[in-house]
Amino acid sequence: MGGAFGGKAGVDLEILAVLASRAVGGRPVRIANMREEDIASSPCGAGAEVYVRLGADGSGKFRALEMRVLLDTGAYADMGPRIARAILADCTGPYNIEHVFCECVTVYTNHTYATSLRGFGHVTSTFCIERTVDKMAASLRRDPAALRAMNLVRPGDVAPTNFTITESMLGNPGACLEAVKKLIKWDDGCVRQEGKLVYAKGLAVFWKTSSSPPDAGSSAVVIFNDDGSVTLQVGCVEIGPAMRTTAAQICAAALGMDVQNVHVSMPVSTAAAPRHWKTVASMTTFLLGRAILSAVADAKEQLGRLAALSMRCAPEDLEVHGGRVFRKSDPAQFVEIKSICRGFKFQNGNTVGGRVIGRGSVTMQNLTTLDRFTGHGRAGPYWTVGAQAVEVLYDTSDHSFRILKAATVLDAGKVMNPEAAHAVVRGGMGMGLSQATREGMEFDPSGRPLDTSLRTYKVMHFSQTPEYLTQFVETPNAEGPFGARGIAEHGALGMGAALANALSKAAGVQLDELPVTPEKIWLKRSEKPL
């Protein structure tokens, strides 16, 4: 139970539990960290120091990008090198930049070790690129939204790791940017002073593909029960984003059934359940969804063969929908699934076939490792793109600020479950804003973590939250289930960037470090020459 946000992608305490269990002859062993132990010694999100240099021509077209990333993976490599690779694969952000140099080095330090954390490096890279784009806009005296719009990547452009992008892979970043501008009322102005208070808005655009192993996959089993309902067995663990509901919806939609009649089996047995890669990377709907569709197709094929015996026709003349197998040319000819899902019984009692059990397995396709030297290759199957905006109220007298509004428009391909989708995007935004303003592991000079309890490591609380505005654009992902793209992480990706863009404008200083705090703003302002 409990969320993960990537923290359960690797093994941490499990190793200790196995060792401890072996030491006592295989008896069950329970390891529980106190919160302080968890914060200090279980893995955290990777920190980074990044150098970015962006070149544009006079018209504002981005021409060249140089990016050097030092990723702090702490004491152990764990996911660090993979995060570095993920940053590299998407380093430009959703922009078309012809000349790209990007180097990501994972560095061992004596800090708490790092693992995947929502965004898998993309919060870092989005922050760095988007701060740079805002600086470029100021330098060129262009509206930050217009500068972004003219440089957004389009179908036919070449990805940073050197392959051609299609609309199916990409979605529509331009539509997201236009929509988020409306949500935040960008055209009404993005800075306004009222006495000692300043209202300011900041933008960010993002994209993310997963950087999974090329053979990451999922599987599902669809079993028909006697009453015609379906038991759906999956290996994916539910940790909050309602993936079990989505799984049931996909299965039900593919069968034309009421979702109430699809029973997703619980709990997941690691010994017996059909394997799923991991509940990470916003790839569950994609991988598991495809596996379910594959299992449903397999089940339909079996149902078709059984029904064909009854209906005396070729299986390809039949369709499965709404609890029935019916003749395409004459839907009035049908058999109920529940009458054949254990096999077909002839009039004299002879039975052929057997329980209909549909199985589906899928894997990531066409992925490669990235060339060590050129970085060329293909890291992920498609992108999810989006645009975000934040409006802040900044107090020039003490540098404190209040986040008023936060907006996200992302291209979901196909929204599977609207309530869940808005909620998980908002959840990501909340996490992104909390991280950008309050969170971060700080260490003393000898490497000891300073904040090890929730008393001093603060997260955002209820009363401090902004108004959240979320919206979806739907450009189908041809290989996603019903056209869907993953959306679980993405709310977090550009929040820090949009916030820092807004506050940099409001405070008149360059805020290039997260978290942003009143003290850091004060320090920057104190350093400004008078």
In angstroms, give the least distance from the CB of 35 to another protein.
4
Beta partners for 404? Answer: none
The burial class, CB within 10 Å (0-12 / 13-18 / 19+), for 521 is buried
In angstroms, give the least distance from the CB of 442 to another protein.
6
In angstroms, give the least distance from the CB of 455 to another protein.
5
Nearest to 286 by CA among 61, 484, 512, 2: 484
Tokens of 206: 């993002």
Give CA torsion, residues 117, 120, 124, 130, to 10 deg.
-130
User: In this structure, are strands 44-45 and 114-115 parallel, antiparallel, or unpaired?
Assistant: parallel
In angstroms, give the least distance from the CB of 68 to another protein.
29
In angstroms, give the least distance from the CB of 243 to another protein.
11
Quick one: 382 or 401, whose CB is closer to another protein? 401
Quick one: 478 or 523, whose CB is closer to another protein? 523
Spatial distance between the Cα atoms of 393 and 399, rounded to a whole number of angstroms: 10
DSSP letter at 193 equals: E
Q: Residue type at 225?
A: N
CB atoms under 10 Å from CB of 136, counted, come to: 19
In angstroms, give the least distance from the CB of 525 to another protein.
10
Residue whose token pair is 């004491």: 75
Answer whether 17's CB lies under 8 Å from 31's CB.
yes
DSSP 480-503: SGGG----TTGGGTTHHHHHHHHH
In angstroms, give the least distance from the CB of 302 to another protein.
33
Give the distance, in angstroms, between the CA of residue 127 and the centroid of all CA atoms in the same chain.
16
Q: Residue type at 95?
A: Y
Answer whether 325's CB lies under 8 Å from 316's CB.
no
Quick one: 35 or 99, whose CB is closer to another protein? 35
Quick one: 23 or 450, whose CB is closer to another protein? 450
Quick one: 176 or 306, whose CB is closer to another protein? 176
Spatial distance between the Cα atoms of 232 and 357, rounded to a whole number of angstroms: 10
Answer whether 53's CB lies under 8 Å from 66's CB.
yes
Quick one: 14 or 442, whose CB is closer to another protein? 442
Spatial distance between the Cα atoms of 419 and 407, rounded to a whole number of angstroms: 16
Spatial distance between the Cα atoms of 344 and 352, rounded to a whole number of angstroms: 5
Quick one: 223 or 283, whose CB is closer to another protein? 283
In angstroms, give the least distance from the CB of 182 to another protein.
15
Tokens of 245: 């509901």
Nearest to 410 by CA among 250, 137, 204, 212: 204
Quick one: 422 or 505, whose CB is closer to another protein? 422
Q: Which residues contact 456 (CB under 8 A, 6 or more apart)?
A: 450
Quick one: 151 or 471, whose CB is closer to another protein? 471
Answer whether 142's CB lies under 8 Å from 358's CB.
no
In angstroms, give the least distance from the CB of 415 to another protein.
10
Quick one: 185 or 438, whose CB is closer to another protein? 438
Nearest to 166 by CA among 519, 490, 481, 475: 475
Answer whether 152's CB lies under 8 Å from 140's CB.
no
Quick one: 208 or 422, whose CB is closer to another protein? 422
In angstroms, give the least distance from the CB of 195 to another protein.
12
In angstroms, give the least distance from the CB of 240 to another protein.
3
Quick one: 16 or 459, whose CB is closer to another protein? 459
In angstroms, give the least distance from the CB of 92 to another protein.
29
Answer whether 292's CB lies under 8 Å from 244's CB.
no
Spatial distance between the Cα atoms of 13 and 2, rounded to a whole number of angstroms: 15
Answer whether 35's CB lies under 8 Å from 2's CB.
no
* Radius of gyration of the chain measured on its C-alpha atoms: 26
In angstroms, give the least distance from the CB of 404 to another protein.
14
Quick one: 274 or 432, whose CB is closer to another protein? 432
Tokens of 326: 């019916």
Quick one: 373 or 462, whose CB is closer to another protein? 462
In angstroms, give the least distance from the CB of 422 to another protein.
5
Q: Which residues contribute to the site for another protein (CB under 8 A)?
A: 1-3, 5, 34-36, 239-242, 397-398, 400, 418-420, 422-424, 426-427, 429-431, 437-438, 442, 450-451, 453-456, 458-465, 468, 470-471, 515, 517-519, 522-523
Spatial distance between the Cα atoms of 144 and 146, rounded to a whole number of angstroms: 6
